[in-house]
């Protein structure tokens, strides 16, 4: 099922998501909805808070960008990050029309549960590592704008406000 993506300003995007206590059919249904919604919006990742559910569940699929296929993670934790970083442009389905350069670790190791509740360890680099870091940030109420300098963040927010005013016109 396609769910409505919450936009910048919605308080759920600034909420620290709760851990999933039991990976059950409801969680698996949520994973399916996150995948459907991500694909419908042409995204490479989506976190449960972005559809209004404050649970620690994310999906990522970087296949279209030459990366690896779909991944669904419950209670993901970044347990290792490379000291090397890289800068690349990021956008967010919750802040459409806004993108900027964000510096992130080149590689990460993420531990989580899969949709069957089984432990999973994912080693990622490049776009997949970036997408995982971006989505885990969402679970902590952090947006990519928070990773920008004060000046760039202010400029991005001004652009966002203008885009929103244009929608109302």
Number of Cα atoms under 13 Å in the Cβ half of residue 156? 23
Q: Of residues 4, 111, 135, 165, which has the active-site annotation?
A: 135
Query: What's the order of all strands across the beta sheet hosting 57-60?
Result: 45-47, 57-60, 71-81, 107-113, 119-125
Spacing of C-alpha 166 from chain mean position: 26
* Terminal Cα distance for the chain, rounded: 30
Angle (CA) 100 81 71, round 5°? 75
* Distance in angstroms (rounded) separating the CA atoms of residues 92 and 68: 19
CB burial of residue 117 (10 Å; 0-12, 13-18, 19+): middle
Catalytic site residue 86? no
Active site positions, annotated = 135
């Amino acid at each position: 099922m396609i769910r409505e993506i919450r936009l910048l300003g919605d308080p759920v995007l600034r909420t620290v998501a709760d851990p999933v206590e039991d990976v059950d059919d409801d969680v698996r249904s949520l994973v399916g909805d996150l995948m459907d919604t991500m694909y419908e919006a042409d995204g490479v990742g989506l976190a449960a808070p972005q559809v209004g559910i404050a649970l620690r569940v994310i999906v990522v699929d970087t296949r279209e960008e030459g990366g690896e296929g779909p991944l669904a993670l419950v209670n993901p934790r970044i347990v290792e990050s490379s000291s090397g970083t890289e800068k690349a442009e990021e956008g967010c389905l919750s802040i459409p029309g806004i993108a900027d350069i964000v510096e992130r670790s080149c590689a990460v190791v993420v531990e989580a549960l899969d949709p069957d509740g089984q432990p999973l360890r994912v080693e990622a680099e490049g776009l997949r590592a970036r997408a995982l870091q971006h989505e885990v940030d969402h679970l902590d109420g952090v947006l990519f704008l928070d990773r920008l300098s004060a000046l760039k963040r202010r400029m991005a927010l001004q652009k966002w406000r203008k885009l929103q005013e244009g929608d109302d016109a």
